[in-house]
Amino acid sequence: MNRTLALAVLLAVALLPEAGRAELRIVTTTTDLGYFARAIGGDRVHVDTICQGPQDPHFVQARPSYMVTVSRADLLIAVGLDLEVGWLPSLVQGARNPDVNPGHRGYLETSTAITPIDVPHGAVDRSRGDIHPHGNPHYWLDPQNAKLVARTIATRMSELDPENAATFRSNLASWTARADRAIDRWSKAMAPHRGTKIASYHATFNYFHARFGLTAIGYLEERPGIPPAPAHLVDLIRQMRAARVPVIFHETYYDQATSQMVASRTGAQLLLLPTAVGGVAGVTSYEKLIDHIVDQFVRAMGRARQ
């Protein structure tokens, strides 16, 4: 057998459907959704994730390998609210898997489980920056929303694989109990800081802020996705000094130069924070993600009071 023919045979074998495969094949757009799917599905599911923890989920390259992965999926789980609008439609189209097209049972946007915040008013166009017309898509950073997301995933998995529905429900109940204990711990840690005025680079952490009673007085981005004008930063620095803002929330995947400059001129501490599971070393679960954010904030507040 010549080399070309051998490669062709290997490719054909690789593309054959797996005989007797019982596990549900799931593709998630983010690591957080992947974590929930694994926690609920256990060994009854196989989960692939497209956007990795350190990446900006707004911008992902639609690679052919991702299309192949989606082509084999029984269920495609997305954040929704246009978070993946720049790349997911291309992957779905290229995958040629009708089961995971929007509107089919194999496609799930977990944003349907939550109530969005930051829904813009008035006309929405590019002059206002990279805004999301249906609301802020970073809802998983509110742990109560995370519980709703997990339940929605479990429901859809049960619909697609009713034989394992009891396992999915049991795993969901176990994870929800762990989440409730963690939420109690986080709430107690954050309670002394309710009402604290903070600044942010982007609006990523707004759901986290709302859950734990923090108030963002402004964003370093004047408009989402657009570098701020000097006049905007001058005004924000003035407001931060007047309010004695102790911290700036900053996503690990954004350039830090502007935030470092504002921090140096206001005395605020710059918190470089992951936004997803796997975003930094050691953040291997959703619980550890929120642990990390809470811990970094509480430590910064302790330093601010010294």
Q: Are 266 and 259 in contact (CB under 8 A)?
A: no
Domain-wise residue ranges, the chain: 23-115+126-183, 190-304
List per-residue pLDDT tens for the chain, 306 residues long: 344 433 432 343 344 444 345 699 999 999 999 999 999 999 999 999 999 999 999 999 999 999 999 999 999 999 999 999 999 999 999 999 999 999 999 999 999 999 999 988 766 655 555 667 889 999 999 999 999 999 999 999 999 999 999 999 999 999 999 999 999 999 999 999 999 999 999 999 999 999 999 999 999 998 887 888 999 999 999 999 999 999 999 999 999 999 999 999 999 999 999 999 999 999 999 999 999 999 999 999 999 987
Look at residue 26 and give its three-state secondary structure: strand
Distance set, CA 182 to CA 15, 126, 166, 287, 294 (Å): 43, 39, 24, 7, 11
> Would the CATH topology of 23-115+126-183 be identical to that of 190-304?
yes
What would be the CATH architecture of the domain defined by 190-304?
3-Layer(aba) Sandwich (3.40)
Superfamily of domain 23-115+126-183: Nitrogenase molybdenum iron protein domain (3.40.50.1980)
Note the helical H segments in 251-285: 257-266
Walk across the sheet containing 45-49 and list its strands: 45-49, 24-28, 75-78, 107-109
Query: DSSP strand E in 40-158: where?
Result: 45-49, 75-78, 107-109
Question: Which residue from 4, 41, 61 is spatially nearest to 170, judged by alpha carbons?
Answer: 41
